[in-house]
Amino acid sequence: MAELLNTEEAARLLHLNVKRVQALARSGQIPSVRQGRKWLFPKDKLLQSLKGTGATPRRVPTAGPGLDISARNQLRGRVARIVIDGLMAEVEIRIGDQLLTAVITRNSAERLGLAEGDDVAALVKATEVMVAKPAQPLARKTK
């Protein structure tokens, strides 16, 4: 008997939002079976349909070796705290003795499976850098 995936498992395999997977199932664009109020997805047929399109299931990149990305500002740390509220998630990352707070979508946090203690990389991409200078010159030490 073929392994059946629920909607959440199929969404993870396809790297899609659960609602998108349900819509694709309703429209008949992906192999699925309706059982009561739930959608079930034959894993082998899902994988076979991906092969037919030339697509492959993608592995979600994780922090560490093998992650190639153009951003130079990569800060490695560990998730210290995560608060999910509504559509957003607040992720506190401990980097050395500093805390960096990132606000991301709930969907992204769930797709990555973020949890306290996870090793992660914070990627910083900014279009501006501001420089501040005191209005009064700093007193210089004289020898």
CATH of the domain at 101: 2.40.50.100
pLDDT of residue 116 exceeding 60, the answer is: yes
Higher pLDDT, 52 or 110: 110
**Domain total in the chain:** 2
Do 81 and 39 lie in a common domain? Answer: no
The answer as to whether 28 is a domain residue is yes
What average pLDDT does this structure show over 25-30? Answer: 88
The answer as to whether 11 is a domain residue is yes
| Pick from 25, 21, 24: nearest CA to 12 | 21
Which amino acid is located at 9 in the chain?
A: E
Range of the domain at 112: 73-124
Two tokens at 92?
Answer: 């506190």
Predicted local distance difference test score (pLDDT) of residue 12? 85
pLDDT of residue 24 exceeding 90, the answer is: no
Do 77 and 46 lie in a common domain? Answer: no
Do 8 and 45 lie in a common domain? Answer: yes
Do 49 and 79 lie in a common domain? Answer: no
Which amino acid is located at 84 in the chain?
A: I
What average pLDDT does this structure show over 15-38? Answer: 87
The answer as to whether 61 is a domain residue is no
Do 77 and 115 lie in a common domain? Answer: yes
Predicted local distance difference test score (pLDDT) of residue 72? 66
Predicted local distance difference test score (pLDDT) of residue 59? 43
Which amino acid is located at 43 in the chain?
A: K
pLDDT of residue 54 exceeding 60, the answer is: no
The answer as to whether 60 is a domain residue is no
The answer as to whether 112 is a domain residue is yes
The answer as to whether 131 is a domain residue is no
- Residues 6 or more apart from 103 whose CB is under 8 A from it? 88, 89, 90, 91
Q: Model-level pTM greater than 0.75?
A: no
